[in-house]
Amino acid sequence: MAKEQKFFLPYKLIKSRASHFVSPIKLSTVFRFMLYRTNAKSLFITAALISWSLLLANVLLAAESMHRESSNALDLPFVNNFLIVVFIISVFGFQRLSAENLKGIDFIGYLWNIFAKGGVAAYLSVALYMVYRMVTNYSSVQSPLLLHMVYQVNFGLLVLFLAKAFYVWRQLLLYHKNKFLQIAWDWYEILLFATLILTLLNFNYSSLIFMPLLGLIGLYTLFLCTNLKWVAYLTFNKKGRSLILLVAILLACYIFFDFFYDFADSPLLVIDYSDVGFLLLAMFFVALYTLASFLVALFSLPTSSVFEQKSEDLLNFQRLSQSIQQGQSEKQVYDMLFESTVKASDASAAWLEIFKGEKKDEIELCHQLTIEEEQIKRIRHLLLAYNIQHIDYINNNLDRNPGFRDLTLPWKSLIILPIKSKKHLFGVLYLLKDIEQGFDRETVNVLRTFTNQTILTIENLRLVHESLQNERYKEELKIASVVQDSLIPKKFPSDSWFEISTYAKAAKEVGGDFYDFLQLSESRIAIIIGDVSGKGISAAFHMAQMKGIFHGLMQQDMPPSEFMKQANSALSRCLEKTSFITSALYIIDYRMKGFMFARAGHCHTLYYNSMMDDTFYFQTDGLGLGIIRDKSYNNHVREMYYDYNPTDVMVIYTDGIVEARNPQNDEYGEERLRYMLTQTYHLEAEDIKYAIINDLEDFTGPTENIYDDQTLLVIKFKPTQPSE
């Protein structure tokens, strides 16, 4: 016993910890636990075998001595009782561990488990007893030793059966348990095992003192046997099968009870296992629970189809609502709707129309059940005549309506369920039944719930699709702005001839502004500014092309107008039809103190001439790149040469600056920009830039999202260095 105790305690301890396992993180612990379980199981088996064998030997020894001395006294009652208790605890402990493996809702599997591994024991014991009877009848020899053997084997089989049934019933009884039930059961188990102490101390449980206690335990058992939730989950077919199994188990109970009742207080035997109260109580529980299950299963047979239908409806609702996460298509949702509604209403014919596109006349007949297209056409025609084609409509007696009577349809009830949200009509579902009053209020409610759920699902599917599209668009913009950012030089060469200051701010939807420079020789630098039409990734892509063209062509050092001609010719072959690029190219020559430039549809260059103390725009002609895609472009671009003076200021920008708007929707404009330069030309390039940008921000007000990219370059020519 002490050995068993030691065993039970740590096992319980570990088990309570084991129930907290959620993930396989503590694999080592689980592994140790499993090892422990297998160890425990083999220990239980060994203990059971040893105790049973010792018991058998002891009983046979006692029987032999009784036979000789004709005395009925058992030599060592306490030793025997101890062995009985060890055997019972070992078998029950083993079954408790193996029953833990039973999981899930395959209840037939549970019942089969009891029958195959426990119930068969009963039939085995009957067979054994029959063989014994036959042997004794034929040989007409009374063999007390043989009888004791049979009795002892049957005792083993009984304990095996009870233990198996007891713990499988425990699993079922605790199905969908709550805390109270768990506690109630734990106490019941403890109480039951406590009765083994009576056996150990050789008390007679049938004495009057224990009667009320037994009665109370009986009531307790009765209360526990009312927990039969699992029966409700059986389908009609499964209930039928489980009834057969339950009868077989009941029969097993009866066989054992009958056998041990017959041999109770038999003078032929030295030992009487009906004295063990624990076995009686366990048998009482097993039999009662089997009986209760049987009765409940039997009487719930007629209603099980209703329960099945409801649970299937519920399952279908679930499937519909989960179809979004499973990434199913609209078609699959309609499939589900059609299947579920036909099943839920038990319709004899049905069809589903889905509207394709915005126009209502494009109908797709996507499902048809036992109905001809010809019949559908006739019914639809009639509904059109009544003008009730896309509204909720129930007719539970079609024969009473002359229009339907004339169609001579084999159906008597019709329900029309439009699948529509507030804004959109997705389709219409038609269900037909061959009996009158086929669609009662309950069914209609279920059907409406189905269609509502479908609408929700379809709309959500579309929303998810849209947001995915948006997400992709945003991602594209992010790439575009990264590309754009990488195309713009971060640093200009710091030179003693001029100072330059740049500003670039990208719009949220990324326009196509860019600028770049290339040192042509020691004294010459080319500066390009441009704006690609369009937005997003295609704009960024064209920008990259333009940058490539700039660096490629300017390696050959050509005048700006020639550059524009060749760039136009190059772009003509790769630019989309609706895209074009505006650009301006400046080649500044420090030594000559002048610059050459050409404009291709880009914003006019703002200039401050310090000699004349005047600010003005260079008004030159020049067509954007990619607008005319043949040689005739060459007539549309002009080149200009200008000598600069020290402290002259040149302002280069894109349309994002002059077309920036204030809340009143006025544009910033060229005039205001020019005015700003007249006020700031004496400052350094950096400060002129800040002055203009600050004024621009004052004008537009605080906005997070500017509409178009803004780019601004301020160049201020410096006086000649003394060293030159």
Partner 1 sequence: MKITNQIKDTTIIITLDGELDASSSVMLDEALSDPEIMTYSKILVDCKDLNYISSAGLGVFISHLQRFEDAQIKLIFYNMQDKVRNVFEILGLDLLMTIVSDYEEAMTIADE
Alpha-carbon dihedral sign for residues 203, 204, 209, 214: positive
C-alpha 540/C-alpha 482 separation (Å) is 9
CB atoms within 10 A of CB 43: 16
Measured from the CB atom, the residue of 547 and 602 that comes closer to partner 1 is: 602
* Segment interacting with partner 1 (CB under 8 A) among 73-81, 91-99, 155-163, 571-579: 571-579
By C-beta, is 164 or 535 nearer to partner 1? Answer: 535
Q: State whether residue 295 is helix, strand or coil.
A: helix
Near partner 1 in 493-552, by CB under 8 A: 509, 531, 533-535
* Of the residues 451, 579, 583, 615, which one makes contact with partner 1 according to CB under 8 A: 579
Among all chains, which residue has been given the structure tokens 């700006």?
Answer: 560
Q: Which stretch binds partner 1 (CB under 8 A): 132-140, 330-338, 579-587, 607-615?
A: 579-587
Strand order of the sheet with strand 498-505?
498-505, 710-717, 649-653, 606-609, 614-617
Q: Which residue shows structure tokens 């029969």?
A: 251
CA distance 687 to 12: 81
d(CA 201, CA 512): 97
Q: Which of residues 246-305 bind partner 1 (CB under 8 A)?
A: none
Q: Using the minimum distance from each CB to partner 1, give the nearer residue, 532 or 676.
A: 532
Q: How far apart are CA 418 and CA 347, in angstroms?
A: 17
Which residue, 103 or 359, has its beta carbon nearer to partner 1?
359
What number of residues does the chain have?
724
For the bound state, the minimum distance from the C-beta of residue 602 to partner 1, rounded and expressed in Å, comes to: 7
* Interface with partner 1 in residues 615-644 (CB under 8 A): 621-624, 627-629, 636
Q: Which is nearer to partner 1, 26 or 638 (CB)?
A: 638
Tokens of 636: 């549309």
| Residue 434 is a binding residue for partner 1 (CB under 8 A) | no
Residue 580 makes contact with partner 1 by CB under 8 A: yes
The residue (of 241 and 638) whose beta carbon lies closer to partner 1 is 638
667 binding partner 1? (CB under 8 A): yes
Instruction: Give 446 or 627: the residue with its C-beta nearer to partner 1.
Output: 627
Smallest separation (angstroms) from partner 1 to the CB of 588: 23
CB 479 within 8 A of CB 536: no
φ, ψ (nearest 5 deg) of residue 499: -115, 145
606 binds partner 1 (CB under 8 A): no
In angstroms, give the least distance from the CB of 622 to partner 1. 6
Euclidean distance between CA atoms 121 and 110, whole angstroms: 17
Q: Pick between residue 11 and residue 633 the one whose CB is nearest to partner 1.
A: 633
Binds partner 1 by CB under 8 A, chosen from 227, 484, 582, 711: 582
- Which parts of 367-386 interact with partner 1 (CB under 8 A)? none
Q: Give min distance, CB of 629 to partner 1, in A.
A: 8
Q: Which residue, 582 or 615, is less far from partner 1 as judged by CB? A: 582
Least Cβ distance, residue 635 to partner 1 (angstroms): 9
Query: How near is the Cβ of 370 to partner 1 at its closest, in Å?
Result: 46
Considering the complex, state which of residue 531 and residue 589 has its C-beta at the smaller distance from partner 1: 531
Pairing of strands 425-433, 413-420: antiparallel
Instruction: Tell me the backbone φ, ψ of residue 317, rounded to 5 degrees.
Output: -55, -45
The answer to whether residue 671 forms part of the interface with partner 1 (CB under 8 A) is no
Q: How far is the CB of 508 from partner 1 (least distance, A)?
A: 13
Inter-helix orientation angle 144-173/120-139, to 10°: 170
The least distance separating partner 1 from the CB of residue 623, rounded to whole angstroms, comes to: 3
User: 593 vs 604, which CB is nearer to partner 1?
Assistant: 604
Binding mask 586-605 for partner 1 (x = CB under 8 A): --------------xxxxx-
Which tokens is 364 given? Answer: 């797709």
CB 595 within 8 A of CB 588: yes
Q: How far is the CB of 484 from partner 1 (least distance, A)?
A: 16
- Per-residue HEC secondary structure of 271-286 comes to CCHHHCHHHHHHHHHH
Distance CA 659, CA 668 (A): 6
Name the residue with tokens 């700039």: 550
Q: How many of the chain's residues bind partner 1 (CB under 8 A)?
A: 27
Q: Show the DSSP H helices in 490-643 as ranges.
A: 536-554, 560-574
- Least spacing, CB of residue 531 vs partner 1, in Å: 7
With the CA atoms of 497, 498, 499 and 503 taken in that order, what torsion angle do they form, in degrees rounded to the nearest 10? -140
Q: Does 92 bind partner 1 (CB under 8 A)?
A: no
At 525, which amino acid appears? I
Specify the stretch interacting with partner 1 by CB under 8 A; choose among 162-170, 382-390, 440-448, 574-582. 574-582
CB 235 within 8 A of CB 304: yes
**Shortest distance in whole angstroms from residue 573 CB to partner 1:** 15
- Beta-carbon contacts of residue 718 (< 8 Å; ≥ 6 apart): 496, 497, 498, 499, 646, 647
CB of residue 309 to partner 1, shortest distance in Å: 51
- The Cα–Cα gap between 223 and 615 comes to 102
Nearer to partner 1, 335 or 659 (CB): 659
Helix, strand, coil share (%) of the chain residues, nearest 5:
60, 15, 25
Supply the minimum distance, in Å, between the C-beta of residue 624 and partner 1.
5
Count Cα atoms within 13 angstroms, Cβ side, for 657.
Answer: 27
Nearest CB to partner 1, comparing residues 371 and 637 = 637
Determine if 416 is a binding residue for partner 1 (CB under 8 A): no
578: contact with partner 1 by CB under 8 A: yes
Interface stretch with partner 1, choices 239-247, 413-421, 665-673, 713-721 (CB under 8 A): 665-673
- Closest distance of CB 610 from partner 1, Å: 26
CA torsion through residues 675, 676, 680, 684, sign: negative
Which residues contribute to the site for partner 1 (CB under 8 A)?
A: 509, 531, 533-535, 577-580, 582, 600-604, 621-624, 627-629, 636, 655, 665, 667, 669
